[in-house]
Amino acid sequence: MGTIAAANVLDGVEAENREKVASRKSAQSINRARAMRETIRRVSRGDHRATCGKRINVPGGAGVRTKQHRVVPHSALGAIVRGGTLCGVLDIAAAFVVYSGFFGVQPVLILQGIASGILGSSAFDGG
């Protein structure tokens, strides 16, 4: 066998090996994509066992390690409730600081004044 024929055989073997490696890599990426889709499906159904303690690589984002608790998707209603609660707490704290600190009004009277909007003057009688 001549050197040209041997070189052609080697080129054929190398090409075959490259095809095998490429097909293995594509099979691995297909399996990873399937596993990611299944994980996302399980999380969206609320199956907390899908992610407990595992690293999840989200496309376009960094890997996220979950704690040993349920992964709950964010909702608009939950954000509204949390935001409203925070605003209410800050509002009553500001009222306590301003009226107690500057005017000397007891915090109980502030809360009774707020309750009197719904209950009327009987809010001041109840304590």
pTM over 0.85: no
Same domain, 89 and 122: yes
Contact yes or no for 105/99 (Cβ under 8 A): yes
Give the tens place of pLDDT for each residue, 59-70. 554 445 555 555
Q: pLDDT class for 124, splitting at 50, 70, 90?
A: confident
Q: In angstroms, rounded to a whole number, what is the distance separating the alpha carbons of residues 102 and 107?
A: 12
The 3-state DSSP class for residue 59 equals: coil
- Whether residue 86 is contained in a domain is answered as yes
- Whether residue 71 is contained in a domain is answered as no
Tokens describing residue 59:
């496309």
Q: What would the mean pLDDT of 98-123 be, rounded to a whole number?
A: 91
The 3-state DSSP class for residue 85 equals: helix
Same domain, 22 and 61: yes
Lowest mean pLDDT: which of 25-29, 49-53, 73-77, 107-111? 49-53
Q: What's residue 19's pLDDT?
A: 73
Residue 65's H or E segment, with its range, is: strand 63-65
Instruction: Give the residue numbers spanning the domain of 84.
Output: 76-126
More confident residue, 80 or 11: 80
